[in-house]
Structure 1
């Protein structure tokens, strides 16, 4: 799969990526929803979550290749960075929820609630990406290049805040595990699972 980008120098002529990033995110959302609906035990949820990881791994190849594209003009770079934010949001979810599934301090009901929260946040990310897609692709709307890139900048800013919200949601959930582990003298194991503050990129 070559890097599938045709973001031209002129924003009005920019085309959406051949591998549609909105489909990648939506696939993760759909699979995550299935996990919530079909998991009744922690081990069952862990097995089902492997399907989410499989979808994410397929998408990660796309995000990694997109990250490697450096010779883009400023406007196309902003579109690229906006798409990469959604990849980062997906990564925070998949990486950390996998660790939560291995955490004995969460009950299955709590894991289901956490998964539901992540799914909602991912869906909102997909919706913003869809909004970006409509702007980048010429869709019959009368819009100047300046107006189009102004909307791209606004979507980027919203997604950046959304990424921060997903990171905050992750920290809050993990802090519950830390507190519970501390009460029963299990802090070292939980620290090893999630890492210390310096090791956490989110």
Structure 2
């Protein structure tokens, strides 16, 4: 499957961006996209195979940090035609889902307002949402198959736009999921008259996005 995704994006990005061929060769964005996808898939796999929450997160964080290099480099690629840019943004959204998961769950691990069982359930939820996001990317193969190459520009952009919007919805859902979990901690902290600790853990009013 990883090889399929790599081949799909290698072919797809080159087909979609013929006028920026030289830049794609220099920055190798197909490989960057593959790296992000492989990292996301490994995070999902790790979350489903490692039972201990602490050990699980350490492995997830290690996989994410290894893939973050691809994420940062792909963000810097510019001057793309519209088709290729939307594909780039779609892949980056999956990287963003991973980033939200790792950064916020790391804080939740140090939050006394969550029990080990709750943390396990929260991690499962993040993994599920990340998995759904990566699954959506497979639909992009429609534009690089033998029949997909015959799509008009309009049809191709419609497919790309739809997948992009659906992955973006999942990114927004991950943010909402994070916010709701943090709000549970805030309510519990208020009951214990310990709100300041939660604010310091997740950020002040100026720093927090939730």
The TM-score bracket by the shorter chain reads 0.7 to 0.9
Aligned length: 189
Structure 1 segments, 4+ long, off by >4 Å, are: 12-16
Structure 1, unaligned runs of 5 or more: 40-44
Deviations 1:70-123 (CA, angstroms, capped at 9, x unpaired): 121121111111111111111111100111111011011111111111111011
CA contact (8 A) 2:47 2:123 kept: yes
Deviations 1:167-199 (CA, angstroms, capped at 9, x unpaired): 000000010111111111211111100113431
Work out whether 1:105 is the aligned partner of 2:110.
no
1:12 Cα offset (Å) = 8.1
Which residue of structure 2 lines up, in the alignment, with residue 139 of structure 1? 145
CA contact (8 A) 1:11 1:149 kept: no
Structure 2, unaligned runs of 5 or more: 1-8
Superposition pairs for residues 9-88 of structure 1, below 5 Å? Answer: 10-11=15-16, 17-19=30-32, 20=34, 21-35=36-50, 38-39=51-52, 45-88=53-96
Matched position secondary structure for 1:170: helix
Aligned-residue Cα RMSD (Å) equals: 2.3
The separation in 1 between residues aligned to 2:66 and 2:157, in whole angstroms, is 29
Matched position secondary structure for 1:17: helix
Of residues 160, 165, 179, the one that matches 1:157 is 165
The separation in 2 between residues aligned to 1:59 and 1:49, in whole angstroms, is 15
CA contact (8 A) 2:90 2:167 kept: yes
The higher relative CO (CA closer than 8 Å, separation ≥ 6) is in: 1
The separation in 2 between residues aligned to 1:50 and 1:126, in whole angstroms, is 21
More helix as a share of residues = 2
TM-score by length of 2: 0.82
1:150 Cα offset (Å) = 1.1
CA contact (8 A) 1:86 1:125 kept: yes
The separation in 1 between residues aligned to 2:100 and 2:106, in whole angstroms, is 10
Which residue of structure 1 lines up, in the alignment, with residue 4 of structure 2? none
Deviations 1:50-71 (CA, angstroms, capped at 9, x unpaired): 1100110111110100000112
Which residue of structure 2 lines up, in the alignment, with residue 198 of structure 1? 206
Deviations 1:14-60 (CA, angstroms, capped at 9, x unpaired): 9981241332211111112223xx21xxxxx2233111001101111
